[in-house]
């Protein structure tokens, strides 16, 4: 190879490097993936909702709680973990929303995918206004029943008072979108 070819190859490589850096710098974070769930034909609670209601999970304090107590209420079910930065980042706004929605008979619950000790430690440091439950790694399986095939977090499910899944959200919530969806309940 002669000197001119080496310089040309180096210049092309440098140009691709600069273009790649510019694309990386200007890249926007992906929007959350949302999915509107189809209601079941017979009007009964969606299979995943039925599985949710059948669960008994410990709350953050370690007391067992039957999730069937949420039947008949519209709900926002947020799958999260203390080690998930987007999960933790959305919690203060989700807590504000939970306080606001409690007056409208809409519940917000968090299902933690971590150990009981980690969730208890987290909830002692970061108080929220909605119940936190400990699902451990089985929470990932439950979220998959709601369509979270990637197993990503946070994953949020909007359920109508009729037990129908109205929409799912993968990734950090966009609260304007969630509020618009809540208005349609």
pLDDT over 70 at 14, yes or no = no
Q: What is the pLDDT of residue 47?
A: 87
For residue 111, which phi and psi values (nearest 5 degrees)? -115, 105
3-state DSSP assignment of residue 33: strand
Q: What is the dihedral angle through the alpha carbons of 102, 162, 177, 173, rounded to the nearest 10 degrees?
A: 70
Q: What angle do CA 18, 31, 40 make, to 5 degrees?
A: 150
Query: What is the rounded CA–CA span in Å between residue 88 and residue 102?
Result: 21
pLDDT tens across 101-151, in order?
A: 999 999 999 999 999 999 999 999 998 999 999 999 999 999 999 999 999
Phi then psi for 107, rounded to 5 degrees? -100, 150
| Dihedral sign (CA 143, 146, 149, 152) | negative
Torsions phi, psi of 66, nearest 5? -85, 125
pTM, full prediction? 0.77
pLDDT at 61 over 90: yes
CB 107 within 8 A of CB 74: yes
Q: What is the pLDDT of residue 127?
A: 86
Buried b (16+ CB within 10 A) or exposed e, 110-119: bbbbbebebb
pLDDT for the residue 11: 54
């Amino acid at each position: 190879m002669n000197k001119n070819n080496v310089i040309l190859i180096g210049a092309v490589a440098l140009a691709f490097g600069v273009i790649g850096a510019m694309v990386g710098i200007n890249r926007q974070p992906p929007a959350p993936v949302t999915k509107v769930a189809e209601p079941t034909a017979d009007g009964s609670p969606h299979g995943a909702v039925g599985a949710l209601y059948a669960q008994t999970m410990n709350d953050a304090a370690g007391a067992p709680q039957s999730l069937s107590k949420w039947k008949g209420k519209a709900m926002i079910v947020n799958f999260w973990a203390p080690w998930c930065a987007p999960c933790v980042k959305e919690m203060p706004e989700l807590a504000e929303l939970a306080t606001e929605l409690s007056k409208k008979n809409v519940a917000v619950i968090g299902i933690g995918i971590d150990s009981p000790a980690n969730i208890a430690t987290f909830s002692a440091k970061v108080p929220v206004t909605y119940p936190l439950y400990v699902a451990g790694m089985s929470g990932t399986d439950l979220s998959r029943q709601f369509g979270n095939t990637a197993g990503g977090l946070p994953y949020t499910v909007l359920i109508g008072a009729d037990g129908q899944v109205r929409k799912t959200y993968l990734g950090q919530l966009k609260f304007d979108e969630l509020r618009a969806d809540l208005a349609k309940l």
